[in-house]
Structures are given as C-alpha cells and as structure tokens.
Structure 1
C-alpha cells in the first residue's frame, strides 16, 4: 500500500536545506519521492508503504533540521 504524507519541518530556509532534507529522506527504505519546500516549511514524502515517524524524524534530524510532525 503506497503512502504520501506531508510533514512540517522547522529550520529550512533555502534550496540547500531542501536538498539536504530530501537526500536523507530519499535514503529511507521504500521512499519513492520527496518534495521539500523551505518557504512553506514542509516536506512531502511518498513511499511504497507507510513510514515510521521515528525514522522520518531521524532522517530530518540527520540533515540538521527538526520534524514538528505531520502537517495539519
């Protein structure tokens, strides 16, 4: 079952930030597409199966930013 979730991420301010977050999230098993938007402060992740939020948080942390949670 595929899944697409948009998360709120704090600290992103530029294209480099978007690329860093996208690279870390793309490395997660099953991720098929990542779209980070620094201006909106969001990242949308599509995957082959629902991802564990802890794994998403760890990837965003590794990139140097903070996952606030799924976007409202």
Structure 2
C-alpha cells in the first residue's frame, strides 16, 4: 500500500509536507513493514526516522509529513 500526497495513492494524504509517494506498507515473512520511498521529509515510526524497512507493531504511530496515523493489527 502506497501512502502519499498523490491522489492515486492507496492512502492519499492532504498534507503539503508529504511527498507524492511517501511511504509503502507491505506484508513480508508473516509481518507488516513500512519503508520510506525517498521522501523529502522522512517517515517516522514512534518518533524514530525509518531508513530501512521497519516492522510495524500494533499501536505504532506513523508520521508522514504532519499527518500521524496509528497502525492497528488484526
């Protein structure tokens, strides 16, 4: 799933600080991960900038631009 400012994204954001295609959430090896797609302002999980694909845990806070999303597993 691609998240970003582009209205064609799976989850489009109305956030001027988000890149057009900002981050990707994907399923791999039984887990759910997020990776930054070379965005200008970075992707943060629980306040930590993501540089490599990072596993998402239930309740994780994802910050893309000025938008904060909460990841819910299940």
Which is helix-richer, 1 or 2? Answer: 1
Which is strand-richer, 1 or 2? Answer: 2
Normalised to the residue count of structure 2, the TM-score between the two structures is 0.31
Q: Which has the higher contact order (CA 8 A, sep 6+)?
A: 1
Normalised to the residue count of structure 1, the TM-score between the two structures is 0.31
Greater Rg, structure 1 or structure 2? 2
